[in-house]
């Protein structure tokens, strides 16, 4: 964690943000996100990374401008953009590619010079698969027909494998669920372009010339894991998919640098973590006024403090315990 008195944004030259669950959920902006990003943009470049392959950067930037953000298409780094880079290394220029997905993916595949088909009858050289709300069983079936032949078959690129996607009405199946259906049919796995793979992060760093980037996400298994793989600091904001229970159980490579309730915390001093054991062997972890004590395999809350500091202290205590969370007796109030 950062030192006392510093904020997550201190020293950051490029702020990179996920979209679904961080900036918006469906058609609605997440509370406080727009104002916080507007303020952050006054001192640094702000870019947006999205695994959602259903829309073009032009469409995404238009939505962000509708919320009041100053976002151009070039500020959007998408998983389809990363996917076509992978395709270019797998098939010849101008090849026919079977596309499962929406306009965002089709646009990038066409801009890269490939021919588009939706049918396995056209003998495609590769399959590229991304999310779109209208993807149907028939689309997944065509991909499965084209990918017949197991590992000896044609290349298969997935824009991302997010299991879920936040929507205004709740959580819905994401591209990972649809990829899994094809995987079950063909018995093989795709090459993945988007988060948590490095390609999309590296593309963002190169595009914006970042030297000290900070990435904001709402998912541990894609956003935070990807940022860690790319060697950049990260924020888990608790406005999307993953909450305190998932956070406490996070594996070492899924743990964020910062934990925020919402994006207002980007510019606020981040409290340090203090920990140590007393002469009886009880180890205490303190963040703000929240104190978590470890006695043997039991973790209990000694001082509640603010809700967010309680979650931060609990996460640090679990992570420092040196054993998997299932080997600990964690009091429910630490993650509720």
- DSSP letters along 157-194, please? EES---SEEEETTEEEE-HHHHHHHHHHHHS---EE-S
Catalytic residue among 10, 13, 18, 289: 18
E strands along 255-319, which residues? 258-260, 273-277, 283-287, 290-295, 298-303
Catalytic residue among 10, 20, 123, 262: 20
| CB distance 239 to 33 below 8 Å | yes
Has 18 been annotated as catalytic?
yes
Contacts of 324 (CB under 8 A, 6+ apart): none
- Kindly give the pairing relationship between strand 329-330 and strand 298-303: parallel
Helix (H) / strand (E) element for 140: namely helix 137-146
**How far apart, in whole angstroms, are the C-alpha atoms of residue 123 and residue 285?**
60
Q: Which of 181, 176, 122, 132 has the alpha carbon at shortest distance from 154?
A: 122
The secondary structure element, H or E, covering residue 14 is: strand 14-18
CA distances in angstroms from 109 to 81, 117, 126, 322, listed in the order given: 8, 11, 11, 46
SS3 308: helix
- C-beta of residue 159 within 8 angstroms of C-beta of residue 168: no
Q: Is 74 a catalytic residue?
A: no
Interatomic CA distance for residues 104 and 3, integer angstroms = 41
How many alpha carbons fall within 13 Å on the CB side of residue 291? 11
d(CA 216, CA 237): 7
- Give the active site residues: 18, 20
């Amino acid at each position: 964690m950062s030192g006392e008195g510093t904020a997550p944004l201190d020293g950051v030259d490029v702020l990179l943000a996920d979209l679904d669950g961080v900036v918006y959920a469906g058609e609605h902006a997440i509370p406080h996100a727009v104002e916080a990003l507007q303020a952050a943009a006054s001192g640094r470049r702000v870019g947006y990374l999205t695994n959602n392959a259903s829309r073009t950067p032009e469409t995404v930037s238009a939505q962000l401008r509708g919320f009041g953000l100053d976002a151009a298409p070039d500020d959007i780094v998408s998983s389809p953009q990363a996917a076509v880079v992978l395709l270019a290394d797998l098939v010849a220029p101008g090849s026919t590619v079977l596309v499962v997905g929406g306009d965002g993916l089709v646009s990038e595949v066409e801009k890269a010079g490939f021919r588009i088909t939706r049918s396995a009858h056209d003998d495609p050289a590769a399959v590229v698969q991304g999310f779109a709300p209208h993807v149907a069983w028939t689309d997944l079936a065509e991909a499965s027909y084209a990918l017949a032949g197991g590992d000896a078959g044609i290349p298969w690129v997935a824009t991302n494998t997010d299991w879920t996607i936040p929507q205004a009405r709740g959580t819905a199946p994401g591209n990972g669920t649809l990829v899994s259906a094809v995987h079950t049919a063909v018995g093989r796995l795709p090459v993945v372009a988007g988060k948590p793979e490095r390609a999309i992060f590296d593309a963002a760093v190169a595009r914006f010339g970042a030297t000290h980037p900070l990435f904001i996400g709402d998912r541990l298994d894609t956003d935070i894991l990807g940022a860690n793989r790319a060697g950049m600091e990260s924020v888990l904001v608790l406005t999307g998919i993953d909450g305190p229970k998932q956070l406490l159980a996070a594996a070492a490579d899924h743990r964020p640098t910062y934990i925020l309730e919402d994006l207002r915390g980007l510019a606020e001093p981040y409290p340090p973590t203090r920990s140590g054991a007393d002469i009886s062997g009880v180890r205490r972890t303190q963040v703000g006024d929240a104190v978590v004590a470890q006695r043997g395999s039991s973790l209990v809350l000694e001082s509640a403090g603010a809700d967010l500091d309680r979650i931060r202290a609990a996460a640090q205590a679990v992570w420092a315990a040196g054993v998997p969370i299932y080997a600990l007796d964690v009091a429910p109030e630490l993650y509720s």
